Amino acid sequence: MTMTTTSSEETTTTTETVVWCFILTKPRVTDAVAELLEQWFAEREGATLLYQGYSEKKGQGVLLLELTDPNDDYGWLAEALDQEKRIADYSFYEDDGPDEAEGED
């Protein structure tokens, strides 16, 4: 499945675990990095590019990926991001779905 680009309103997650990957780039290479991500995810399931733009304070390129493949630990992605010189920084955040205690009074 090819990585898709979507607005956050259209996002529906089919698994309970979601991993977000925030990627910061040099401003001029954001499009090139988005194309690189498309190549990396060409044969993989569960990747959606939710946002591509620029940060408010310094104008760095920002990409936000939603990753939902429960069988992938995304270690390969961290290694690839470490090696890519156009990527200034990145972070992974994981959400295991709704907390069972939420909503209890």
Q: Kindly report, residue by residue over 18-73, the tens digit of the pLDDT.
A: 999 999 999 999 999 999 999 999 988 889 999 999 999 999 999 999 999 888 88
What is the pLDDT, as a whole number, of residue 102? 55
pLDDT at 98: 62
The answer on pLDDT for 6 being more than 70 is: no
Share of the chain above pLDDT 90, in %: 63
Report the C-alpha gap between 79 and 47 in whole angstroms.
17
User: pLDDT at residue 9 above 70?
Assistant: no
The answer to whether 55 touches 62, Cβ cutoff 8 Å, is: yes
Q: Which residue has the higher pLDDT, 37 or 6?
A: 37
Q: Which residues contact 44 (CB under 8 A, 6 or more apart)?
A: 1, 3, 69, 72
Q: Is the pLDDT of residue 3 over 80?
A: no
pLDDT at 103 over 80: no
- The structure's pTM equals 0.76
